[in-house]
A and B are shown apart, each in its own frame.
Chain A
């Protein structure tokens, strides 16, 4: 098989198949390490504090938040959109890059998909809490009922219910289908009886016969084909929540593509944050390499630039439309009471990703890690700016207001961060963090030993004199 010597290896350390199994399965075996325990303790404590704040909100009602008649959406919906957006990178890596046959996805897809599922779970909490009377949430389900009313199928908020629940279900299924063969690997290595039984159950009795693999490849491809338009639809529908309203600053047709690229942008930042830590803590440096980081950084430049163009287009359209409300909304964003948030957003999302044009920076783990945090913050501010600055000065100046979150709102946000990291830490300890079977399948085309050999042959054929 010919492998281009120009390709950078995606697996280092001249691994063989057995070593790959060992390296990836090691994280789930043996005693938990101290940093893992500390991390879990910290994140689960934060998670419990968040649950306490959710409890307070449900007990006393939405009055525990600083929302008012003018500002009906605040941190809550900001966080919802932020988390949903983060989820999108996982699906992009697992589905779109599968269709594009990108080999580097094998190193990061498992963890990125896990991130998707946990992020969507965090996101889903917010609309549920925001309902106020969460015990009535079954009202959104369209089943024949004695109340004699149906949900409104023309409402983007109901579309959201369908989009998010479909997204969560399909991502979960896709993830699990990929996990089944790897659970079988863990089962077959297990010595302890209970461990074998647990992984045996999780593996669904996978045997790895050629017929099973044939169906595995077929279903992976079709699920990827289904998940690709799905991931684009989910954030489009989230953007409809805003775009179909008549609020200046929201009522624009640019929203769906702008939200989708923003989502992928922020999602990749979160993948980078997680993977740079994971590769160090779980000693997976040979599998998550500089080449992986660089590939992801390239996607960040692309989507970050699209986001930047979208911001500027919004400004241009506000001016060009001649609509004074639209013009005011954008003047107010950039120079009003929330200007500080707008300029944080502009700096973090438009300026900072452009630094990645420098090869040195986009191949640096430290810089990438720092930048990924900056982008996460920037993208949170994007949603905050879109939601709060568009609302806080509405059509009637007497009802203008300034919004500051309460402790409960901040607590719930921090609490979902705790929930997210708790789930991720549990995942990193019990599941194969890298898709073992998929990495094995690219070893012969992307392992460093293969590429170095090709490189050597190339050099020799160009320079016959050096053969001796």
Chain B
């Protein structure tokens, strides 16, 4: 992996951070990412993130799971091995409902969690470095990709961070 340079500002407070993100973006500067110890309300709008498609993935997985299970049970009870249980018809849909429900939940949940880990780039083995370990404790970080920035631009961004309440500004090669 190629080395990447980041320039980042450290903030002490979530509200200060949120205002800083808004101000910096309003001036047309591209923020690479924001790292925080907990989710902050309003940061999605401030960063203009697209809404996540995770819900849709969950719905699709659930639908596929329940359809397959329905076909499977119907095939078993009517085609493959029809047996009479308690005088009920071979295709006894009401009795399928509990299993269909459980399978819907199971496939939606498992599928969504897999998609979640993949989209978020989370894996137990291949992990990307963390910019500043304090960002999982009590510090809030705004990071800029510094590979293509000139010294002048860096200076400008640093000033902007300072004005918006950053307590320290660092540069790091990841």
Give every chain A residue within 8 A of B47 (Cβ-Cβ).
210-211
B75 to chain A, nearest CB (A): 10
Q: Mark B29-60, 1 if CB is under 8 A from A, else 0.
A: 00001111111100110010100101100100
Complex Cα distance, B38 from A97, in Å, reads 19
Give every chain A residue within 8 A of B99 (Cβ-Cβ).
153, 158-159, 162
B135 to chain A, nearest CB (A): 6
Give every chain B residue within 8 A of A148 (Cβ-Cβ).
81
**One of A169-177, A299-307, A316-324, A410-418 at the interface:** A169-177
Complex Cα distance, B140 from A209, in Å, reads 10
Given A166-B106, A218-B55: A233 in contact with B101 (beta carbons within 8 A): yes
Contact B39 A205 (CB under 8 A): no
**Which residues of A (158-216) have their CB < 8 Å from a CB of B?**
158-159, 162-163, 165-166, 169-170, 173-174, 177, 180-181, 184-185, 187-189, 200-202, 204-216
Contact B76 A205 (CB under 8 A): no
Question: Is A354 located at the chain interface by the 8 A CB criterion?
Answer: no
Contact B137 A169 (CB under 8 A): no
A24 to chain B, nearest CB (A): 11
Contact A237 B98 (CB under 8 A): yes
Question: Is B123 located at the chain interface by the 8 A CB criterion?
Answer: yes
Complex Cα distance, B47 from A78, in Å, reads 54
Complex Cα distance, B130 from A204, in Å, reads 12
Q: Which of B43, B92, B121, B134 has the most CB of A within 10 A?
A: B121
Q: Mark B106-141, 1 if CB is under 8 A from A, else 0.
A: 101110110011011111111110110111111000
Q: Mark B4-47, 1 if CB is under 8 A from A, else 0.
A: 00000000001000000000000000000111111110011001
With an 8 Å Cβ cutoff, the count of chain A residues facing the other chain is 65
Q: Which of A16, A153, A180, A188 has the most CB of B within 10 A?
A: A153
Complex Cα distance, B55 from A217, in Å, reads 11
B25 to chain A, nearest CB (A): 12
Q: Mark A18-56, 1 if CB is under 8 A from B, else 0.
A: 100100000000000000000000000000000000000
Contact A214 B72 (CB under 8 A): no
Given A169-B110, A207-B128, A208-B136: A17 in contact with B105 (beta carbons within 8 A): no
Contact A189 B137 (CB under 8 A): yes
Question: Is B146 located at the chain interface by the 8 A CB criterion?
Answer: no
Given A162-B98, A173-B109, A218-B54: A150 in contact with B80 (beta carbons within 8 A): yes
**Which residues of B (55-90) have their CB < 8 Å from a CB of A?**
55, 58, 72-73, 76-77, 80-81, 83, 85-86, 88
**Which residues of A (134-168) have their CB < 8 Å from a CB of B?**
142, 148-150, 152-156, 158-159, 162-163, 165-166
Complex Cα distance, B96 from A214, in Å, reads 36
Give every chain A residue within 8 A of B125 (Cβ-Cβ).
201
| 9 cross-chain CB contacts under 8 A | A142-B73, A154-B92, A159-B98, A185-B37, A206-B120, A210-B33, A216-B39, A222-B55, A223-B113
Supplied contacts A173-B109, A210-B33, A216-B39, 11 more A-B pairs, CB within 8 Å: A150-B77, A153-B99, A162-B99, A165-B106, A166-B105, A180-B122, A209-B35, A213-B39, A218-B52, A222-B58, A437-B39
